[in-house]
Amino acid sequence: MTSTLPREPEPRDPMTPDGASEVAAVRLRALGRSVAATWGTAALAAVLFVATLMIGKADVSVGEVVTSLLGLSDDGGIDFIVRDLRLPTAATALAVGAALGLSGIIFQKLLANPLASPDFVGVSSGASLFGVAGVVIFGLSGIGTSAMALLGATVSAVLIYLLAWRDGISGYRFILIGIGVQSFMIALTGYVISRADLFEVPEAMTWVVGSVGHAGSTELRIVCLVLLLALPAALVLTRTLHVLELGDDTATALGTRVEVSRIALIGVSIVLVGFATAAAGPLLFVALMAGPIAMRLVGGSGGGLLAAAFVGASIVLAANLFSQHVLPEPVPTGVVTGAIGAPYLIWLMVTANREGRGG
């Protein structure tokens, strides 16, 4: 007597009605996961934003925060605490984190490497160098410092792009050259700070270890405006980004102007990281962490750009809360992001190497 093993069902042809409906169901589930992840990260960022307004030497309730923000409060003391003391810090953390998260995922998708990040390949360090030079050498502040930071990010990115170009851009080569440029920029930043006057050192040090608590109203308005303009631009370019992920040859065959599209996306990323650095200094590893976390949450089904922005905002808001209210003594926000990001970077390099994405 012979036994018959059950046969595995053959895959359905997607061209048939049953196959088409199965593909549509898979896409619908993927879309649902992407939307749920995006809304979930947005809710987390909102909770941390409100928590930043609530927690301090004088705690404020959720109701008092909401009524104060809506202008419904009759308590001048609460309004002063919420709007004047805590709102600038919370808004800076939200905007800067979102800008860094969005910039990071654009870099990572564009170069097809999770280690590609503007704060890891020298773009942020270029913004820091020029920001320090603006403060120490030229005595700038406000818009002037923001412009210098943007210029520094642009110079670094152009330098890395030119050095990495060899009949196209390789993500691995881009990263290695970026690390070298980063080390050079950091060394120059240390030299410029060593030449600063004593009263300039505290402001200049913001550009070495970032902190969301030092941004002025001008820098905050600028980074918020840039984020509002750059986010729609990034979403418009999402389709082009998906095509570029298929490889230069495939993208060219599909009619995409590869280098023009790549430069446009890098330009959006540079603007975001330049003005974010101008507002808060170099918050290390935020751009590096936000993208991979967002992609794991959305399951690789969607673009993940919005989710990455919300994850970046959540990281900075959480790091600021931890640095100011959990540690025995307050420290700059960048100290906490660096402490979290260093082991994350090691883990990411190990996993990327195992999966064959490390070069």
DSSP secondary structure string for all residues of 204-235:
HHTTTS--GGG--HHHHHHHHHHHHHHHHHHH
Q: Is residue 24 part of a domain?
A: no
- The structure tokens listed for 164 are 């990495």
pLDDT of residue 1: 47
Integer distance in angstroms from the first to the last C-alpha of the chain? 55
The number of folded domains in the chain is 1
Give the contacts of 352 (CB within 8 A, at least 6 positions apart). 113, 114, 115, 358
Which residue, chain included where needed, has tokens 């993500």?
Answer: 171
Please identify every stretch of the chain with a pLDDT value under 50, giving residue numbers as ranges.
1, 3, 5, 359
CB of 34 closer than 8 Å to CB of 299: yes
Query: At CA 259, angle to CA 253 and CA 263, rounded to 5?
Result: 140
Total length of the chain: 359
Q: Is residue 28 part of a domain?
A: no
Q: How far apart are CA 317 and CA 15, in angstroms?
A: 48
Cα Rg, the chain, nearest whole Å: 23
For the four alpha carbons of 33, 39, 44 and 45, in that order, the dihedral sign comes to: positive
CB of 189 closer than 8 Å to CB of 128: yes
Which residue, chain included where needed, has tokens 């190497």?
Answer: 353
- The structure tokens listed for 354 are 């195992």
Cβ-count burial of 94 within 10 angstroms (0-12 exposed, 13-18 middle, 19+ buried)? buried
CA–CA distance from 46 to each of 51, 84, 124, 129, 322 (Å)? 9, 19, 26, 32, 17
Q: Is residue 169 part of a domain?
A: yes
Q: How far apart are CA 210 and CA 195, in angstroms?
A: 20
Q: Is residue 52 part of a domain?
A: no
Q: Would the pTM count as exceeding 0.75?
A: yes
Dihedral angle, C-alpha 7, 12, 17, 21, nearest 10 °: 100
Q: How far apart are CA 99 and CA 104, in angstroms?
A: 9
CB of 206 closer than 8 Å to CB of 132: no
Q: Is residue 76 part of a domain?
A: no
CA atoms within 13 A on the CB side of 333: 33
Q: Is residue 5 part of a domain?
A: no
Q: Is residue 21 part of a domain?
A: no
SS3 of residue 165 by DSSP: strand
Query: At CA 50, angle to CA 45 and CA 51, rounded to 5?
Result: 95
CA 353, distance to chain mean position in Å, is: 23
pLDDT of residue 259: 80
CA–CA distance from 150 to each of 130, 327, 344 (Å)? 8, 33, 27
Q: Is residue 248 part of a domain?
A: yes
CB of 312 closer than 8 Å to CB of 305: no
Beta-bridge partners for 169: 165
Which residue, chain included where needed, has tokens 């979290």?
Answer: 340
Q: What is the domain extent for residue 264?
A: 93-354
pLDDT of residue 72: 85
CATH number, domain of 300, equals: 1.10.3470.10
CB of 41 closer than 8 Å to CB of 311: yes
Q: Per-residue pLDDT tens for 245-301?
A: 877 788 888 888 888 888 888 888 888 988 888 888 889 899 999 998 998 898 765
**Rounded mean pLDDT of the chain?**
83
Going by C-alpha positions, the residue among 328, 235, 310, 319 that lies closest to residue 281 is 319
